[in-house]
């Protein structure tokens, strides 16, 4: 029996099955520093203990995407080692901030299976939950991936496609306990714009750009203990290119969006997302956003803003799809999320 | 109204105006580790809690240049986003060590304005103060930059050029409270040379060199939340080059100067500095120093040494200017600073 | 007198001499985060405080190789600055885990000297001990290097070649106090294979690969305050190549070996090692292992496994030497070590 992990194939998943993912991870100020070194991240709440305390939190939480990447990375050996494509995200809820010293682990449940008509692959839907050392859920999200079959003769499972919310409702969002934006300091945060200053349909070109290097995306992806070969091994693909982890593009775009959305402080909901085109080293990532919705929350001074975040490879802002309905070749990411913002 | 920060133009500054810079930042052991990964930093006081305690400090402070870069980085969106050139530094005083767990923010006052005769730009002088979470000043320095005008018809302000000390006097220097070098261990520090072993006029070739990579200078510059496009976006300049943040060269040269100046433990004064020529990835940075002065301080066993630190792109040591009085093309940095050294 | 460190030459070493290496170093969560960013490290004991506590330790120790690199790096200015070659390691014993907050320093004793017959160089054997802030030894190992003579007329020392154990016996290994694998959770650790599942002679292809970038190996090597020019200065060698620190290859291979040896949790003994061929940026490092021995320890549930770890530049697994008995050109590292594993 081979000792190495071959990954799972489509026929290895059972509907309802629960998978405990290996290698829990304790996070520290080191991960925060690296996050700031890898991305131009400046949201004040994740940057300053003092700012966070003035907003009712015990200290600055780690960037919400540190939580996402850490929880996600653990699932790779069990879910996407043999994935052909990462098809989508839905119902992502950030349930609780994560602080330096917390230890995260991940668990996934198979909530849907659908073999493709070609019989060679199928779509696996999992709901993944990240928990801290107290067993409290910090994040849950649904992801579906296309996975190869190994044994083409294995019988197709009963098809079950879960019903997923296209968008989380504001009351689905978990606002961190104690969060209070009534004394929010817009000068320290970097921009004066509050929730009322944004209109649904408004678009924002985030102006800045970052050209990505191989060393950076590999360091980021290893940091989350994501093990997919294709990100690290230049001999793996025939063209000698290393595919950049989609989450690296998410973090880069989110950090770039500070310029224009400095007060969109915490990501609390992930409605959906598509990695429209692959990203490679040498690409210059730029970003633009569109305001999709705004809402109130029950926390004092805290509103919610729903945003489309688009990362491009230097493409013109506000262009998303061609006449054929397909993403334009310069579009890397189309993400739909909820963030918290002072009212 | 555009939501993104266009930066300020020359006509936007008022003499005497105070600008609070955004995004306070909590530093940790993570920033220290990254500083050691990015630069060959080995000064014992910033490397070892035990060494620092034996010198009367509560723990190893972060490298003084971590303080400088963090305080400086916060000023970029308000001071130098539209700068044509960073013209100089003066009266830089490190007032207190910064430790992991401290949160820094920055404030600048406009202390001088002078429109250029071409009417298209002007020089802005600011005195920047970095403070910790207790409101205590940890660093102050003067910097002047040339900034473009946006509205060429805006009236020129009254010219005011502040009088700045060409060199800080020894009594201007703040020695950290409790610092005591009477039990200083030169063996642990790495070199036997004490203040009395250095002569004014002496020059030291620091011998070592580091070839700089794009990933490194971008990680460093992002770590300090410095947002100037020109460092990150290879499509920004016509030649496709990313200009390396001048502070990256300062830190590289200072770290290289360990070899010959291992006991110049803490930077306490920045008398002046010029980024003589731009630095790009692929350049191999080398450094040499000249002893400009020595002095006593009131702290036990603690002297001060004034040094010229020159970084080159592999140029011959001890060459600074050509016959025309201009910096030689291989000179990257000419820095004049005070450091503390055991007597 | 030049202020910079010229390094020692062969004639500068005396048998029995003890050298205190400079610049003690306090480690933190920052070094752990960077280790995870630089290598695909996933062993659960060094990743999760909770996992480590369930195994009887107070918290997750730093990866054993962080200890090795930190202790080793300090010796470079005194031992290998003028080394022509790093010839071997022996009797490496990890005596105690190192935790964030610990401060390490290093000391070496010259235990052997042998001038080469050409009279131009000689072999220096040192036993290096790393100690924490309490003076407790955390690591000791023997290393021998070939060092140039500066003064070819200096008399040859009496030849003394120390007798070194080719392999540490199981009773030589120090198991961390309190370590208890009776409740070891293989699911969280990532693989089901326990000591009894491995057979002596068994070989494992670790499958994954990482293509190395200049920025990565330089950041790693600086992080350990290793100052050897050849790793950093592209102008130092005529071919413009920067030689990768051998320890970078050790860490890369060990991290890759997770896939198949996830439960080989802690390195406790280093029997020997050879850097078979130089490694350069652009090389894709792969790894394979061979089980050399297994043993019991006195700690509950804790066994020991002796492994050969081979790193290659993408060479076929399980090929080590050619017909001439020399290492194949694609072999980078041949390491012989003991690790602890649940029984």
Q: What is the pLDDT of residues B52-75, one digit of tens each?
A: 999 999 999 999 999 999 999 999
Predicted local confidence at residue B315, as pLDDT: 82
User: C63: which 2 tokens?
Assistant: 């990866």
Best of A101, A196, A211 to disrupt the B interface by mutation (most B CBs within 10 Å)?
A211
| pLDDT greater than 80 at residue C232 | yes
The residues, any chain, with a CB within 8 Å of residue C118's CB and separated by 6 or more, are: none
Helical ranges in chain A per DSSP H: 29-38, 44-47, 49-54, 64-79, 186-189, 214-223, 246-256, 258-261
Half-sphere exposure (Cβ direction) of A263: Cα atoms closer than 13 Å: 26
Nearest residue in C to A132, CA atom: C50
Better-scored residue on pLDDT, C227 or B204: B204
Nearest to C187 among A20, A31, A236 (CB): A20
Contacts with A, C 279-308, CB within 8 Å: 282, 284
Tokens 């000791």 label which residue?
C140
Is A216 in contact with B218 (Cβ distance < 8 A)? yes
Half-sphere exposure (Cβ direction) of A175: Cα atoms closer than 13 Å: 23
| Minimal C-alpha gap between B237 and chain A (Å) | 12
Tell whether C37 lies on the interface with B, counting CB pairs under 8 A.
no
Q: Do the beta carbons of residue B267 and residue B64 sit within 8 Å? A: yes
| Minimal C-alpha gap between A47 and chain C (Å) | 16
3-state secondary structure (DSSP) of residue C49: helix
* Whole-number Å distance between alpha carbons of C93 and C270: 6
Q: Do the beta carbons of residue C100 and residue C137 sit within 8 Å? A: no
Neighbours of B67 (CB within 10 A): 24
Is C232 in contact with B208 (Cβ distance < 8 A)? yes
* Whole-number Å distance between alpha carbons of B96 and B107: 16
Tokens 């700012």 label which residue?
A51
Is B211 in contact with C234 (Cβ distance < 8 A)? yes
* Whole-number Å distance between alpha carbons of B45 and B175: 14
Tell whether C259 lies on the interface with A, counting CB pairs under 8 A.
yes
Bridge partners, B338 (sequence order)? B269, B306
Instruction: Concatenate the DSSP letters of all residues of A231-279 into one string.
Output: GT-TTTSTT-PPPPPHHHHHHHHHHHTHHHHTT--EEEEEEEEEE-S--
Nearest to C24 among B38, B50, B204 (CB): B50
User: A74: which 2 tokens?
Assistant: 């653990």
Mean pLDDT of A164-187: 97
Neighbours of A182 (CB within 10 A): 12
pLDDT in tens, B170-181: 999 999 999 999
Nearest residue in B to A194, CA atom: B3
* Whole-number Å distance between alpha carbons of A224 and A211: 21
Best CA proximity match to B26, nearest among A172, A36, A78, A312? A36
CB pairs under 8 A between A and B: 136
Instruction: From chain C, pick out residues whose CB is under 8 angstroms from the CB of B259.
Output: 4-5, 227
Cα–Cα–Cα angle for C41, C29, C130, rounded to 5 degrees? 85
CB pairs under 8 A between A and C: 137
Predicted local confidence at residue C82, as pLDDT: 85
Predicted local confidence at residue A1, as pLDDT: 59
Neighbours of C87 (CB within 10 A): 15
- To the nearest 10 degrees (0 to 180), the angle between helices C214-223 and B29-38 is 120
Lowest mean pLDDT across A324-333, C88-97, C228-237: C228-237
Nearest to C39 among A2, A3, A222 (CB): A222
**Predicted confidence band of residue B25 (pLDDT cuts 50, 70, 90):** very high
Residue % of chain A over a pLDDT of 70: 100
User: B340: which 2 tokens?
Assistant: 């503390």
Is C222 in contact with B38 (Cβ distance < 8 A)? yes
Q: Do the beta carbons of residue A228 and residue A245 sit within 8 Å? A: yes
Distance of CA C38 to the CA centre of its chain: 16
End-to-end CA distance of chain A: 59
Tell whether A162 lies on the interface with B, counting CB pairs under 8 A.
no
Tell me, what DSSP letter sits at residue C24? -
| pLDDT greater than 80 at residue B336 | yes
**CA-based diameter of chain C, in Å?**
63
| Minimal C-alpha gap between C277 and chain B (Å) | 23
Nearest to A208 among B34, B101, B229 (CB): B229
Model-level ipTM above the cut of 0.85: yes
Predicted local confidence at residue B101, as pLDDT: 98
User: C272: which 2 tokens?
Assistant: 């020997």
Nearest to B242 among A29, A100, A211 (CB): A211
Is A24 in contact with C48 (Cβ distance < 8 A)? yes
* Whole-number Å distance between alpha carbons of B120 and B117: 8
Phi and psi angles of residue B278, each rounded to the nearest 5 degrees, phi first: -70, 150
Distance of CA B154 to the CA centre of its chain: 33
Instruction: From chain B, pick out residues whose CB is under 8 angstroms from the CB of A206.
Output: 4
The residues, any chain, with a CB within 8 Å of residue A54's CB and separated by 6 or more, are: A183, A184, A185
- Cα dihedral B310/B314/B316/B318 (nearest 10): 10
Tell whether A220 lies on the interface with C, counting CB pairs under 8 A.
yes
Bridge partners, A90 (sequence order)? A142
Bridge partners, B292 (sequence order)? none
Residue % of chain B over a pLDDT of 70: 100
| Minimal C-alpha gap between A65 and chain C (Å) | 16
User: B96: which 2 tokens?
Assistant: 């207190």
Is B232 in contact with A209 (Cβ distance < 8 A)? yes
pLDDT in tens, B277-319: 999 999 999 999 999 999 999 999 999 999 999 999 988 899 9
pLDDT in tens, C66-117: 999 999 999 999 998 888 888 999 999 999 999 999 999 999 999 999 999 9
Nearest residue in B to A27, CA atom: B30
Rg (Cα) of chain A, in Å, rounded? 20
Predicted local confidence at residue A82, as pLDDT: 85
Residue % of chain C over a pLDDT of 90: 94
Instruction: Concatenate the DSSP letters of all residues of A198-242 into one string.
Output: --TT-EEEEEEEEE--HHHHHHHHHHTT---GGGT-TTTSTT-PP
3-state secondary structure (DSSP) of residue A46: helix
Is C187 in contact with A4 (Cβ distance < 8 A)? no
Neighbours of A194 (CB within 10 A): 17
Best CA proximity match to C60, nearest among C101, C104, C25? C101
| Minimal C-alpha gap between A108 and chain B (Å) | 31
Is C209 in contact with A4 (Cβ distance < 8 A)? no
pLDDT in tens, A264-298: 999 999 999 999 999 999 999 999 999 999 999 99
Tell whether B55 lies on the interface with C, counting CB pairs under 8 A.
no
* Whole-number Å distance between alpha carbons of A121 and A117: 8
Best of B26, B29, B282 to disrupt the C interface by mutation (most C CBs within 10 Å)?
B29
Instruction: From chain C, pick out residues whose CB is under 8 angstroms from the CB of B58.
Output: none
Bridge partners, A124 (sequence order)? A113, A145
Tell me, what DSSP letter sits at residue B230? G
Domains and CATH numbers, chain B: 1-27+62-150 (3.10.129.10), 189-343 (3.10.129.10)
* Whole-number Å distance between alpha carbons of B188 and B84: 44
The residues, any chain, with a CB within 8 Å of residue C227's CB and separated by 6 or more, are: B40, B42, B208, B259, C73, C76, C77, C81
* Whole-number Å distance between alpha carbons of B310 and B287: 6
Is B28 in contact with C29 (Cβ distance < 8 A)? yes
Is B34 in contact with C31 (Cβ distance < 8 A)? no
Tell me, what DSSP letter sits at residue C160? B
* Whole-number Å distance between alpha carbons of A309 and A311: 7
| pLDDT greater than 80 at residue B1 | no
Is B209 in contact with C100 (Cβ distance < 8 A)? no
Angstrom CA distances, B282 to B41, B241, C114, C217, stand at 20, 11, 41, 16
């Amino acid at each position: 029996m081979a000792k190495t992990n071959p990954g799972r194939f489509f026929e290895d998943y059972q509907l309802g099955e629960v998978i405990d993912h290996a290698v829990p991870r304790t996070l520290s100020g080191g991960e925060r520093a690296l996050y700031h070194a890898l991305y131009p991240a400046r949201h004040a709440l994740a940057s300053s203990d003092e700012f966070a305390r003035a907003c009712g939190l015990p200290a600055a939480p780690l960037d919400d995407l540190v939580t996402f990447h850490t929880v996600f990375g653990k699932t790779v050996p069990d879910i996407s080692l043999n994935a052909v494509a990462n098809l989508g995200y839905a119902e992502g809820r950030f349930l609780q901030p994560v602080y330096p010293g917390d230890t995260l682990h991940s668990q996934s449940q198979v909530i849907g299976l659908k073999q493709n008509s070609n019989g060679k692959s199928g779509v696996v839907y999992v709901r993944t939950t990240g928990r801290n050392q107290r067993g409290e859920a910090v994040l849950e999200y649904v992801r579906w991936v296309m996975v190869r079959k190994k044994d083409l003769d294995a019988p197709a499972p009963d098809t079950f496609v879960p019903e997923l919310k296209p968008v989380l409702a504001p009351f689905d969002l978990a606002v961190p306990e104690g969060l209070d934006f009534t004394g929010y300091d817009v000068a320290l945060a970097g921009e004066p714009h509050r929730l009322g200053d944004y209109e649904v349909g408004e678009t924002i070109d985030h102006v800045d750009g970052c050209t990505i290097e191989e060393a950076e995306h590999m360091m980021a992806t290893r940091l989350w203990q994501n093990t997919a070969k294709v990100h690290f091994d230049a001999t793996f693909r025939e063209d000698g290119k290393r595919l950049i982890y989609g989450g690296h593009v998410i973090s880069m775009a989110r950090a770039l969006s500070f310029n224009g959305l400095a007060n969109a402080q915490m990501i609390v909901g992930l409605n959906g997302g598509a990695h429209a085109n692959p990203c490679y080293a040498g690409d210059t990532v730029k970003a633009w956003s569109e305001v999709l919705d705004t809402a109130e929350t029950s926390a004092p001074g805290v509103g919610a803003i729903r945003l489309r975040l688009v990362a491009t490879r230097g493409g013109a802002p506000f262009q998303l799809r061609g006449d054929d309905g397909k993403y334009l070749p310069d579009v890397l990411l189309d993400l739909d999320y909820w963030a918290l913002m002072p009212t």
